Structure 1
Amino acid sequence: MTSPISRKLDTTRLGRIAEWMQRYVDQRKYAGSSVLISQSGEEVYFHAAGLRSAENGLPFQRDTIARIYSMTKPITSLAVMMLAERGLFHLDAPVSQFIPSFSDMRALVPGAERIDQTERAAVPTLHQLLTHTSGLSYPFNPGVLARAMEEQDLLFKPDQGSLEDMCDQVAALPLAFQPGTRWEYSVAIDILGRVVEVVSGRSLAEFFAQEIFAPLGMTETGFSVPIGAGDRFASLYTPLAGDAMALNAAKAGGETLRLVDQARHSPFEAATMFSGGGGLVSTIDDYSRFAEMLRRGGEVGDQRLVGPATIDFMMRNHLPGDIAAMGPQSFAEQPMEGMGFGLGGAVVLDPGRARTPGSVGDFSWGGMASTFFWLDRVHDITVVFFTQLSPSSSYPSRSELKALIHGALI
């Protein structure tokens, strides 16, 4: 019997991916998309389909620049672990040690209906922030805290000022629950971005550029679209009639590709906010370099960012069980059943319960504009998928793509 590790990807079967991508374009679900697949460090498949700008008739190409939103989170989580690996802090340190505005915390009482129904709470630790068990939330989640965040527009958008000020505004609100008791997708990784700034003495943009992007050759990744990129920056679309991020008030519109943001009119072209939770733009080749570094245990070529033991630690499940066992039905970029959570991404515990083909230990995360990446260390595979449609919950493209790729393993 062939061992799983020796299974290779059949190029003929991979050809089904192009048909699947074109179908999404033809049905006006995505304007365009691209996918890059590598196995054992060698590229085995690339395809692009459709348009990066439907309004200007420009094709989605390999050098298209896209908003990766929450695929920024694994990069910020890596930055935290790079500093932890240097002995600069321990993950059980309270966040107030770095951001004093978090010193006196309160949490909503169970069943709270108003933002002022609170009780004293412990200060969240760095580990709780990394694992989304801190009690923080997102404006697009259900719940009392999320509504308050939505009213104050606490979303760390690229044109919302400084990271320091936004973190202080978040700290002024109560937590959704006592730290460590539940899992809820949140702005926690944005808060950690500020921790990286405080500990390193550099802006998050500078730290990323010097410590991660330069060593990996990620020359077109940053918080602002690179100068000279011009119309390579893809347009963003939504099938919703309202705000593409306002999931609590989501209403389907007649137009499935309503334009939300485009080149030369985008806040991503001159970002002031360095959002470690969702602020980066990138190309598919750049992000593939990051994914390959993870697969290789912290190195690409002669560049090592962290030790292999640190990568193994990040890719372990850090929850008591799966995400679904830890509480509220918040928005998430992944299924919750059969999925654990590591540092920066989800970890497959049971592909059957997740209802998506995969290997135990698959590490992955996505972004609000439907981008997605995962790495499978059983089969030595990394996959990066780019498109630009928000919200990412619009279509089941991620599980469909995983099924297509697993169907090509022979």
Structure 2
Amino acid sequence: MNQAKHGALSEERLAHLRSVIENDVRKGLYYGAVIRVARAGEIGLDATVGSADAEGAHPLASDAVFSIFSLTKAFVNVLALRAVEHGQLALTTRVADIIPEFAGAPRDRATLYHLLTHTTGMPGVWTPKPDMLQDNLAELLQAVCANVHGAVEPGSRCDYSPVSNHVLMAEMLRRTDAADRDIVTILQDDLCTPLRMDSTSLGVRADLRARKVVPDMRGVIPIRIPGRTQPGTFGLFEEERNEAPHVGAVSTTADISRFAEMLRRGGELDGARILSPRMVAMASRNQTGELPNELYKGVALRSGWEAPPAYIGLGFSVRGERIVHHQFGTMTSPGTFGNYGAGSTMFWIDPALHMTFACLTTGVMTQAANIERFQRLSDIAVSAAL
């Protein structure tokens, strides 16, 4: 039994969690995982299972560097919330007031709040232009402004935005930055360096290349995401210079766990204050009511499940009150919040139980299978809380 200030973690249950992952890998559901579960900052499980590839030729290392896909959005969300606290932006700031080229009704009425809650009224497109290179923020912005238009009034519908919202958010941060920094530098200076997330960056830094796992999409991703200098259908994820604020970051489970612990502690870790407790409380509260997330509504209906509410806070996914299929599990507290990415990566914070969960995996899964996988692992993890 691992005793922590706010309760214990059952070593038996955590050992069972590891054995379930090992069994999943043996069955070929995915290739491997690096997982960390902690309570009140005390690590109960820190495990590395399986390999980086389907053949099992390359065992995973505990410090493996993963493409984290949409977990990148969590970093940009926090940077935007930090900008609000610093008076640089406001939740009510209209996007078009900072980015005039984002004109045209009804999208020109969208605010930073709408970006964070995925309620801009724009459709959730997977790419703003087919086969475009996505490593340059200016090119992404031009494509979003030219091709992604408002379909309904902001605030009236929740459409998860795979790309557009975070391109706009990153550009708002860049244009209002007093030091005129690019988004790569903003992320490094204002988040990674103070939190000592030394293996996290936008793009694959040269010092991280040797530990980088090349993701196997297994036919799950329906579009090409090419790189400017790197070969392959998904070359973007191997680029060293990468300004994609929606999917371009790489990280380790240890770094993601530190990020989650900062949020669990109300925005501070090891003396570095990123957000205020008030902002974390606001951001982790459901802001979308009973609106469905149109993307996951489709996943649920195709799977024969009840369509869940979106349960989105200020950028974070929230577990919510209803018992529905959810990656954060069904046994976690309703206020559990976090983010996930492309059938392979996830973290959550359960503030009621003082728990954090971070898991990065290899072998991308379909949306429904990934939801079921992480729901199962999350429920086992939280059952360890005594």
TM value normalised by structure 1: 0.81
> Is residue 214–residue 238 contact of structure 2 (8 Å, CA) maintained in 1?
no
Q: Evaluate the alpha carbon distance shift between residue 197 and residue 336 of structure 1 in structure 2; reply closer, same or farther with a 3 A threshold.
A: farther
Other-structure match for 1:32: 32
What is the alpha-carbon distance in structure 2 between the residues aligned to residue 330 and residue 168 of structure 1?
29
> Is residue 288–residue 383 contact of structure 1 (8 Å, CA) maintained in 2?
yes
What is the alpha-carbon distance in structure 2 between the residues aligned to residue 15 and residue 378 of structure 1?
23
Percent of paired sites with the same residue:
26
What is the alpha-carbon distance in structure 1 between the residues aligned to residue 50 and residue 296 of structure 2?
37
What is the alpha-carbon distance in structure 2 between the residues aligned to residue 229 and residue 168 of structure 1?
30
Q: In the alignment, which of 118, 123, 126 is matched to residue 112 of structure 2?
A: 126
Q: Alignment partner of 2:311: what SS?
A: strand
Aligned counterparts, 1:245-260, within 5 A? 245-246=221-222
Other-structure match for 1:340: 311
What is the alpha-carbon distance in structure 1 between the residues aligned to residue 231 and residue 256 of structure 2?
21
What is the alpha-carbon distance in structure 1 between the residues aligned to residue 209 and residue 324 of structure 2?
44
2:195 pairs with 1:216: yes
What is the alpha-carbon distance in structure 1 between the residues aligned to residue 141 and residue 217 of structure 2?
28
Q: In the alignment, which of 316, 324, 340 is matched to residue 292 of structure 2?
A: 324
For the aligned residue pairs, the C-alpha RMSD in angstroms reads: 2.7
What is the alpha-carbon distance in structure 2 between the residues aligned to residue 84 and residue 360 of structure 1?
26
Other-structure match for 1:78: 78
Equivalent position amino acid for 1:129 in 2: L
Deviation by residue 1:13-53 (Cα, 9 ceiling, x = unmatched): 11111111112211112111111011101111111111024
> Is residue 136–residue 242 contact of structure 2 (8 Å, CA) maintained in 1?
yes
Equivalent position amino acid for 2:64 in 1: T
Q: Alignment partner of 1:317: what SS?
A: coil
Q: Alignment partner of 1:379: what SS?
A: coil
Deviation by residue 1:256-275 (Cα, 9 ceiling, x = unmatched): xxxxx999x94434344412
**How many residues end up aligned between the 2 structures?**
361
Deviation by residue 1:208-229 (Cα, 9 ceiling, x = unmatched): 1011100000111112223233
> Is residue 34–residue 360 contact of structure 2 (8 Å, CA) maintained in 1?
yes
1:139 deviation in Å?
Answer: 3.3
User: Which runs of 5 or more residues in structure 1 are unaligned?
Assistant: 107-120, 141-148, 248-260
Q: Alignment partner of 2:155: what SS?
A: coil
2:215 pairs with 1:236: yes
Other-structure match for 1:383: 357
1:55 deviation in Å?
Answer: 5.3
> Is residue 236–residue 369 contact of structure 1 (8 Å, CA) maintained in 2?
no
> Is residue 30–residue 364 contact of structure 2 (8 Å, CA) maintained in 1?
no
What is the alpha-carbon distance in structure 2 between the residues aligned to residue 292 and residue 336 of structure 1?
31
Q: Evaluate the alpha carbon distance shift between residue 297 and residue 328 of structure 1 in structure 2; reply closer, same or farther with a 3 A threshold.
A: closer
Spell out structure 1 runs of 4+ moving beyond 6 A: 325-328
2:12 pairs with 1:12: yes
Equivalent position amino acid for 1:220 in 2: S
> Is residue 296–residue 307 contact of structure 2 (8 Å, CA) maintained in 1?
no
Deviation by residue 1:139-169 (Cα, 9 ceiling, x = unmatched): 34xxxxxxxx576346xxxx53421221121
> Is residue 200–residue 249 contact of structure 2 (8 Å, CA) maintained in 1?
yes
Q: Mean Cα displacement is larger for which, 226-235 or 360-369?
A: 226-235
1:392 deviation in Å?
Answer: 4.8
> Is residue 38–residue 381 contact of structure 1 (8 Å, CA) maintained in 2?
yes
Q: Mean Cα displacement is larger for which, 42-51 or 168-177?
A: 168-177
Q: Evaluate the alpha carbon distance shift between residue 331 and residue 83 of structure 1 in structure 2; reply closer, same or farther with a 3 A threshold.
A: farther
2:281 pairs with 1:312: yes
Other-structure match for 2:173: 196
2:255 pairs with 1:286: yes
Q: Evaluate the alpha carbon distance shift between residue 305 and residue 347 of structure 1 in structure 2; reply closer, same or farther with a 3 A threshold.
A: same
1:137 deviation in Å?
Answer: 3.4
User: Which runs of 5 or more residues in structure 2 are unaligned?
Assistant: 224-229, 301-305
Equivalent position amino acid for 2:119 in 1: T
What is the alpha-carbon distance in structure 1 between the residues aligned to residue 151 and residue 299 of structure 2?
14
What is the alpha-carbon distance in structure 2 between the residues aligned to residue 271 and residue 195 of structure 1?
23
Other-structure match for 2:375: 399
Other-structure match for 1:367: 341
> Is residue 346–residue 365 contact of structure 1 (8 Å, CA) maintained in 2?
yes
> Is residue 311–residue 319 contact of structure 2 (8 Å, CA) maintained in 1?
yes
What is the alpha-carbon distance in structure 1 between the residues aligned to residue 37 and residue 222 of structure 2?
32
Equivalent position amino acid for 1:164 in 2: A
What is the alpha-carbon distance in structure 2 between the residues aligned to residue 103 and residue 339 of structure 1?
27
What is the alpha-carbon distance in structure 2 between the residues aligned to residue 86 and residue 167 of structure 1?
24
> Is residue 14–residue 44 contact of structure 2 (8 Å, CA) maintained in 1?
no
Aligned counterparts, 1:118-197, within 5 A? 122-140=108-126, 149=127, 152-153=130-131, 159-173=133-147, 174-186=149-161, 187=163, 188-197=165-174
1:104 deviation in Å?
Answer: 2.1
Equivalent position amino acid for 1:87 in 2: G
Q: Evaluate the alpha carbon distance shift between residue 400 and residue 163 of structure 1 in structure 2; reply closer, same or farther with a 3 A threshold.
A: same
Other-structure match for 1:91: 91
TM value normalised by structure 2: 0.85
Other-structure match for 1:49: 49
1:351 deviation in Å?
Answer: 4.7
Q: Alignment partner of 2:323: what SS?
A: helix
